[in-house]
Structure 1
Amino acid sequence: MEISTNTSKLDLGSTNTDSRAIPSQSEKEESFGRWDNFVDSFRQYQPASYDGYEELTDLEKSAIKTANSPLQRKLNSRVMNMLALASSLGSGLLIASGEALNTGGPLAVLVCWALTGLAVFCTVQALGEMAVTFPVSGSFNVYASRFIDPSIGFAVAWNYFLQYLVLLPLELVAGSMTMQYWITSINPDVWVLIFYVAVISINLFGVRAYGEAEFLFSLIKVTAILMFIIVSIVIAAGGAPKGDAVGGKYWVNPGLLANGFKGFVSVFITSAFSYAGTELVGLTAAESENPRVSLPKATKQAFWRILFFYMVSLTLICFLIPYDDPRLLGNSSVDINASPFVIAITNGGISGLPSVMNAVILVSVISVGSSSVYATSRTLTALAEQGMAPKILGYIDKKGRPIIAIMITNVFGLLSFIAASNKQEVVFNWLLSISGLSSVFTWLSICVAHIRFRRALSCQGRGTDEIAFKSQTGIIGSFYGALLNIIILMAEFWLSLFPLGDKPNAQAFFQSYLGFVVLLACYIGHKIWKKNWILFISAKDMDIDTGRKETDIEALKQELKEEREIFQSKPLYQRIYHTWC
């Protein structure tokens, strides 16, 4: 089994997936018609076989399979950067921030979004380090299995899968409701069908089509939010058709905080959920053309997204709208009248914005729907590759599409056709409750996996000089991210027991905290299924080699040393730019 003195017996897993995904010469020479080629593309890609494979442990087998997934590397740096910059921008910022302002007040909004944003940035940095080192299929759920415990990886991955599985029909329904702003005479299911076909088509054309579509969607969202920021600055300075310079008058009357400490905690939770989807950039590692180049750049984009699109826009919102504005009370994810962006600019006397904002929300829901199919199919495939789901779910065709996983996701998406039903809100509230805390669990697992990975390097006499990209926030950042996510879970538990403005009741509790019950059931179920009774994998026993693209560690160290010397010789402005961009 051993192929190199520098690595473990699992170095078989570091085979270059790019070359394995390229058809052989004999395949190229076969003369097929267009229809035959199309049909043939759906046939399963046959992975390479390894001598002695059956003698390995389950963890070793999963490491090899996820490292050698036939997913195709077709996401370039341009697409990766835009995915990192704007893929998760949506109703959490555009709509829910207004409800948070009404609940907690301007001080709560800014403090909570800043604290949570810092934790998310630390988490993305930790994920970036591991994804560059191990660009494997499944990304963070695989890291949880390898560096913490397979049962943790199983529970986190299935929760993440459920989160995005539910999001697909939810976003399709949201899109149909958004269209009713312009047209009310058409049955909502007609719009659901149109968006359903669009989302399915994007993913069936392969990862390159998904990447290009997300690039376009993200570009529209970035442009729109930048325009809103510029217009808001003009309004705050008194340059709008209506109103004078606002200044800080709303911070005095009605004040900085609403609903006291419980309101502050509620905003804390809302801010965490608004960042959901930030981790998607790590899931693309196995399909990035050059993860060592594109992933570090994409990871750094998270800082600018948090700073400009969240903190700058929310600061302006907090200056332009009092927290007691009755229009902020809307709680629908597509309630355009509850958007603080619309309210702020409408107050300035600028007409026509609601239609523009609805168009942006429509783009956002289609974008999230497409990302839902991508996230669920890749997570389900990785679960199958790790032996944590039926083997058939790991079916990947010759074009690198996890076609069975995509089909399952699309079938579940048919739930969106209840858009015309009067029971849709009840159905989706319970579906969302199943995985409502999934993002927090995922971020927590990423931070803990990073801490454990660094611990394994230390225990095995290895150092960070063999890591191509190191987290800019280091292990301290991962400790901070883990701590904040634990605090968020505790805060959500408290508010689930004692809801703001309501009496304790079982339905409210389970709709908010059912996700934890599902996670715990998955964790215990996996322990019983696999008879895995360890709490965590010992650092000295962790596999820190399988899945690396560079198998010669000493050569990699020398290459990284030379790159650092070249970097230090560059002018100061170039060093600053490459550090943050």
Structure 2
Amino acid sequence: MDSLARPPSGPSNNDNDATSLRSEKKGAEFTAEMVEEVELVRSADRTKRTLKNRHIQLIGIGGTIGTALFVQIGATLTKGGPANLFIAFTLWCTVILAVNNCLAEMVTWIPVSSPFVRFADRFVDPALGFCTGINFFVFEAILIPFEMVAFNVVLHFWTDKIPVAAVICAILVLYTFLSIFAVSYYGESEFWLALGKVILIVGLIAFTFITMVGGNPLHEAYGFRYWSPSKVAGAPFAEYLRTGDLGRFLGFLACLIQASFTIAGPDYVSMTAGEACAPRTTLPAAFRGTTFRLIAFFVLGSLCVGIVVPYNDPDLLRAISGARPGAGSSPYVIAMEHMGIPVLPHLVNALVLTAVFSAGNSYVFCASRTLYGLALEGKVPRVLARCTASGVPIYCVGITLAVALLAFLQVSNNSAVVLQWFVNLVTASQLLNYAIISFTYIRFYNSLKVQGISRDTLPHKSFWQPFCGYYAFIATFVMAFVGGYTVFIPGHWDTPSFIFSYAMIGILPVLYVYWKIRYRTSWQKLETMTFFENERQIVDEYEAEINL
């Protein structure tokens, strides 16, 4: 065990919290052993603050952008049309911006490992903290094999001669190396990989603008041709499943569901809080950058997709129905082929390949740190809080990578089927996670008000609060139930789709009730709620030391 870091000497990070557990939970029956375990584990946070501002900014991008924005968005375009796609993505960006405002205010003041999981515990109910952590861990961990399967699909754009098992093994080795040997390697790798995503999306936006004004081999200024009903039947609003206004509304819902799965960001930034260098400075800047990322990547990205190709393009429909590999199903690649541009599709596929690898790399980090946060709060076995000398939660990373072995399902099943399994399972998890974050912030906001703590004293004060908290909570909670709506349309019932779409909605209450009954927890009172005083003091002392 010499390679494992020992708990820090000196005062416990959370001596007062053990006392508060006894005093605040008058109806809770925490045993002496349980309090002691939580107290010991919380004091053992040994992750290292090595992630710089540029790392965190790009990590927020790395976990946000994957194949959905470049490839899968084409299938959604065919369902809703360019206008529905643009409106849905723009609308959902406002929801994620609201979530960002909630997280930014809490995390910059309390930059601890696995923050929003532990906030749910401390600001609402330990039972909610437990089910939040399990939900987010499952969500992140399942996305790792999703991206590994997607990596192999993208690779097939060039060749299908490489064995699937060999590709999966190679990716696992790389993720293991980047996750275990040093977190600084992860930060650097994610910085450069995510930079490739930025180059790709900026390049595609530039490609759209240049070609739409005539800068293409055909010398044709097509502009917003594919938004015109006189040029494309049904444009710019497509009908989906039904005709008329109902069909156009269902098309909008399809686009909104895709947006709710595709658009993310603030949760990935928050997961770096426990390992951020100078968090009081770097985290506010990273959260502020989320606004610009949402506009640049998702709002403009969704607009460009509807400009370069019509929603009913025969080549696009054939590529989607035939599961054309890699970037071959991308609206951008199909537009390039229409214009007779031979080299760019290969460049796009190469950058999409790095985007997929980068997304999986981010998910390994976030899933392992979520499990680590659960260990710090005593929600999973204490041994999982062990870190290596370089500050890596080794056992948490090991379990996360073990889940990634699900990617081997692709060896005996169709890639498209496996991808859909993963997507259906985790879409509701992401929405429920955002709903819990928003609700946690509402409790945090109200407690500050009751205890007379001015938000002006916080390192970062977000705007339009508490409106953003309520807006994000209602929108994400409702969308979690809307995601599988197609099964309720007459003639479209599908039992597997129903189960995958609503599994986590049913599992989360069970987890909550299990923990609440087993440990007889009670809701935190606004008047006596604590705000990680000892952890904040440690961060204050650390920042004072590095600023000397």
- Is TM more than 0.5 here? yes
Aligned residue among 286, 301, 310 for 1:322:
310
Distance apart, 1:407 and its partner CA: 1.0
Aligned to 1:235: 211
Distance apart, 1:52 and its partner CA: 8.3
Aligned to 2:298: 310
Equivalent position amino acid for 2:412 in 1 = S
Aligned residue among 504, 513, 523 for 2:502:
513
The equivalences for 1:527-538 within 5 A come to: 527-532=516-521, 534=522, 536-538=523-525
Aligned to 1:542: 529
Query: Cα deviation per residue 1:475-525 (whole Å; 9 max; x = unaligned)?
Result: 2222221122123123225334338xx522322211222121222221222
Matched position secondary structure for 2:216: coil
The equivalences for 1:99-498 within 5 A come to: 99-242=75-218, 244-251=220-227, 252=229, 253-254=232-233, 255-259=235-239, 260-329=248-317, 330=320, 335-422=326-413, 426=417, 429-498=420-489
How many residue pairs get aligned? The number is 512
Query: Cα deviation per residue 1:385-425 (whole Å; 9 max; x = unaligned)?
Result: 11111112222222111001111112222232343323665
Residue 45 (str. 1) matches residue 32 (str. 2): no
Distance apart, 1:470 and its partner CA: 0.9
Higher mean alpha-carbon deviation, 324-333 vs 246-255, is at: 324-333
Task: Assess if the C-alpha contact under 8 Å between 2:62 and 2:359 holds in 1.
Answer: no
Q: Note closer, same or farther for the CA distance 1:193–1:316 as it changes in structure 2 (3 Å cut).
A: same
Aligned-residue CA RMSD (Å): 2.7
Distance apart, 1:130 and its partner CA: 0.7
Task: Assess if the C-alpha contact under 8 Å between 2:80 and 2:254 holds in 1.
Answer: yes
User: Aligned partners of 2:17, 2:524: CA distance in 1, in Å?
Assistant: 21
Higher mean alpha-carbon deviation, 97-106 vs 288-297, is at: 97-106
Distance apart, 1:55 and its partner CA: 5.4
Unmatched runs of 5 consecutive residues or more in structure 1:
1-38, 560-581
User: Aligned partners of 1:518, 1:419: CA distance in 2, in Å?
Assistant: 26
Matched position secondary structure for 2:65: coil
Equivalent position amino acid for 1:263 in 2 = G
Task: Assess if the C-alpha contact under 8 Å between 1:95 and 1:333 holds in 2.
Answer: no
Aligned to 2:244: none
Task: Assess if the C-alpha contact under 8 Å between 1:328 and 1:340 holds in 2.
Answer: yes
Query: Cα deviation per residue 1:412-457 (whole Å; 9 max; x = unaligned)?
Result: 2223234332366555544554433111111111211112111101
User: Aligned partners of 1:54, 1:44: CA distance in 2, in Å?
Assistant: 23
User: Aligned partners of 1:468, 1:420: CA distance in 2, in Å?
Assistant: 50
Higher mean alpha-carbon deviation, 142-151 vs 101-110, is at: 142-151
User: Aligned partners of 1:494, 1:420: CA distance in 2, in Å?
Assistant: 31
Q: Note closer, same or farther for the CA distance 1:348–1:148 as it changes in structure 2 (3 Å cut).
A: farther
Q: TM-score, normalised by structure 1?
A: 0.82
Q: Give percent identity, aligned residues only.
A: 28
Matched position secondary structure for 1:435: helix
Aligned to 2:32: none
Unmatched runs of 5 consecutive residues or more in structure 2:
26-34, 240-247
Query: Cα deviation per residue 1:191-244 (whole Å; 9 max; x = unaligned)?
Result: 222111111100012211111100001111101211111111011112211252
Query: Cα deviation per residue 1:288-313 (whole Å; 9 max; x = unaligned)?
Result: 01111001110111111111111122
Higher mean alpha-carbon deviation, 404-413 vs 344-353, is at: 344-353
Q: Note closer, same or farther for the CA distance 1:304–1:347 as it changes in structure 2 (3 Å cut).
A: farther
Distance apart, 1:93 and its partner CA: 0.7
User: Aligned partners of 1:166, 1:144: CA distance in 2, in Å?
Assistant: 22
Aligned to 1:57: 21
Aligned residue among 498, 511, 523 for 2:512:
523
Q: Note closer, same or farther for the CA distance 1:363–1:281 as it changes in structure 2 (3 Å cut).
A: same
Q: TM-score, normalised by structure 2?
A: 0.87
User: Aligned partners of 2:237, 2:17: CA distance in 1, in Å?
Assistant: 61
Task: Assess if the C-alpha contact under 8 Å between 2:121 and 2:129 holds in 1.
Answer: yes
Distance apart, 1:164 and its partner CA: 1.6
